[in-house]
Structure 1
Amino acid sequence: MKSELKGIISAVLTPFTKDGVAIDEAAYGRLIRSQRDAGIHAVVASGSTGEHPSLTVAERKRLYEIAVEASGDKIDVVAHVGSNNVRDALDLAEHARKVGVDQMLVVTPYFDSLKFTDVQRFLDKIVKISGGPIIYYDTPSITRLDITEDQMVTLKRDGLVSHIKDSPQNFTRTMRMLSNPDAPTVLAGSDPALLAVLAHGAPGSIIGASTFIPELCVELYDRISVDKDWNAALKVWDRLWPILNFMLLNGYVALAKAGSEIRGLSLGNPREPLAPSPVELRERLKVVLEASGVTSLPLAA
């Protein structure tokens, strides 16, 4: 598995056909290519923004295949293989390794509250398949697991975790891990913390909104991590944050799909139990995008 990841790693949406029955494979290929052309550094296939709980194992495998094919050698592909079913997670990891993804993102089974030893045992099974340490998807609000900094150090020391998609309840732990050379590499995984975590030295982020506003997300990364121009970065953030905040308050995935359609790349509606954004919210999103200087330039490659 790839040990160095950086930049905007886009947790891309999964496009569905109009009836929601199947993945729109052609649209998914266009989406991956549009991400590549917009300067996105890597994509996550079948992540949370990609509605992985509503996908079958076969559909998730197909997403890995299309992402690898469409990205070529231009951008990295991260396969999210986490599942509430351990057997499915192992099956997905096997397929991801087979098709040649660059890295795997793993959320632990999230129905029961696991002990740390359960986490270690589960990740050990994944790593034996992946061939190297993975990205740990830390999302305590879903898993009910509040992994400590010391436990994260243990996961890295034991060769199980190289990076962490950091969506924590405890921002203090994030700051401590960013300054701890023995901890896994932190990737910003929480939209509100994106600016702060990048500014404190994280090499990149995993974010869903970059599916339809890739240029703003890439510009923020460039101003912070490449140019070290904090004033310019704050100006980009002043344009980006209103969009992120509107999504967080009003339905993240549904509005990301609405935003994609507004910009010229229709990805269909979310799958149940999620509902499409109502017309009123779509119109308000247009206003937010226009105020942030986001035009209707199409994303399709």
Structure 2
Amino acid sequence: MSDLKGICVPICTPFDKSGDRIDEGALAAHVDSLLDAGVHIILSCGGTGEFAYLTEEERRRIHTLVGKQVRGKARFVVQSSAISTRDTIENAKFAESVGAEAIMVLPPYFEGPTMDGVMWHYEHVARAIKTPIIIYNIPQHTNRDVTPELFARLLKIENIQYIKDSKGDLTRIQQLVATGGKVFNGGDTLMFPALMGGCERVIWGGANAVPREAVQLYELFAAGKLAEAAALWKRLLPAQIFFWTHDYNSAVKAATNLLGGKVGICRKPALPLTDAELAELRQALSALGRPLASAA
């Protein structure tokens, strides 16, 4: 299986107006918009997909639908985390069955084990499946930090190849790159600096709103057109800072809607942005020079 590189978008999950049901038509339209933009990898039910607010049945439905739609058009990754090792393995095997080319897995994230227990968890998940694993490190939400030292140990397990680091620390990203492992930057405000720091791949929730610009940024960087890439990043950065400093999923969905997408609002208890926050977001998005919808 070839290496995963480029822009990976953890897709938003659209709901109907009540928030009770997944809007499958809007989901398909959103996936199409990402494919049309040339996104390299699509990830279902990541943090930006509100996986914590979905039932397992809903997650599996989304994985199945997205996997079928993406097949042959982009690479496909499935987020398969669970608190217990048993449930994580079951989720990962299902992901394999719907064509996932990699499985993204958090460390156990509630009343979690020691770091030896985290290592045990990943070892047993890795042994149970054949698909490459992306370690998902977001310690601000799990209270478990997969350090560069632990990642170097995990890389000795045959099909653990990647890490997504969402700590939002450029020094950490460069430390992870130095392990020789394959690193996805997950901090929105660091996308361009991370590329410059040797990171060849990103998982970018904010790219739901700006997939064309995200792909263009990567392609400019890959072509060595660094001045053009830096100029584009300057236009993208205000919105990325807004996402990172507000209710993240609500902000990303609002921006996506303002820029012409239709992903609705988040499932409660995540609330829509206030009018004041929407005005601030509009100002941040104005740097892109694109028309905005009248409502988010």
- The normalised TM-score by structure 1 is 0.91
1:273 aligns with: 269
The offset of 1:260, in angstroms, is 2.0
Q: Which moved more, 1:17-26 or 1:191-200?
A: 191-200
1:135 aligns with 2:131: no
Q: 1:7, 1:29 → 2: CA distance?
A: 22
Tell me what 1:26 maps to: 25
Report the counterpart of residue 213 of structure 1 in structure 2: 210
Answering whether residue 289 of structure 2 is matched by residue 293 of structure 1, we say yes
What is aligned with 2:154? 155
What is the aligned-residue identity percentage? 29
Q: Go from structure 1 to structure 2 and tell me whether the alpha carbon gap of 1:67 and 1:16 turns closer, same or farther (over 3 Å shift).
A: same
Q: Is the 8 A contact 2:173 2:185 kept in 1?
A: no
Which blocks of at least 5 consecutive residues in structure 2 are unaligned?
Answer: none
2:237 corresponds to 1:241: yes
- Displacement of 1:280 after TM fit? 3.1
Partner SS for 1:294: coil
Alignment of 1:1-301 (within 5 A): 2=1, 4-168=3-167, 171-181=170-180, 184-224=181-221, 226-296=222-292
**Runs of 4 or more off by more than 4 Å in structure 1?**
none
Preserved CA contact (<8 Å) 1:5 1:203:
no
**Residue-by-residue CA offset, 1:139-192 (whole Å, 9 max, x unaligned):** 1212222333232111111225201101236543421332333xx211111112
Q: Is contact 1:141-1:169 (8 Å) kept?
A: no
Pairwise CA distance, 1:232: 1.2
Query: Matched residues in 2 for 1:54 and 1:212: separation?
Result: 21
User: Cα distance, 1:278 vs. partner?
Assistant: 2.1
Higher relative contact order, structure no. (Cα contacts within 8 Å, ≥ 6 residues apart): 1
Q: CA deviation at 1:76?
A: 0.9
1:21 alignment partner, SS class: coil
CA distance in 1, matches of 2:253, 2:87: 27
Q: Which ranges in structure 1 are unaligned for 5 or more consecutive residues?
A: none
Could you tell me how far 1:94 is from its partner in structure 2? 1.7
Contact 2:168 2:186 in 1 (8 A): no
Q: 1:296 Cα deviation (Å)? A: 4.4
Deviations 1:187-229 (A, max 9, x none): 11111221121112211100101111111211211121x2112
Q: Does the 8 Å CA contact 2:8/2:202 hold for their aligned counterparts? A: yes
Q: Secondary structure at the match of 1:5?
A: coil
